[in-house]
């Protein structure tokens, strides 16, 4: 399986991401542990995953 190399948008660490990662997939940076979301696949683009909102309701 091939991997893609990206930079963490938070700490700029080099990340190896599986080539078959899905749009919307979330993983953690191995360096800063920030949760990152795949926002687009072509070209591959990462953003910090949105924080969970506390307003889940009952």
Q: Which residues bind Zn ion (CB under 5 A)?
A: 8, 10-11, 13, 29, 31-32
CA distance 48 to 57: 24
Minimal distance, residue 5 CB to Zn ion, in Å: 14
In this structure, the strands spanning 14-18 and 3-7 are: antiparallel
Minimal distance, residue 56 CB to Zn ion, in Å: 27
Minimal distance, residue 36 CB to Zn ion, in Å: 8
CA distance 28 to 4: 15
13 versus 40: smaller Cβ distance to Zn ion: 13
């Amino acid at each position: 399986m091939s991997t893609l190399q990206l930079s963490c948008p938070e700490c700029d660490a080099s990340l190896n991401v599986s080539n078959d990662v899905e749009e919307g997939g979330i993983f953690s940076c191995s360096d800063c542990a920030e949760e990152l979301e795949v926002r687009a696949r072509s070209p591959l683009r990462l953003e910090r995953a949105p924080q969970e909102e506390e307003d889940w309701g009952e």
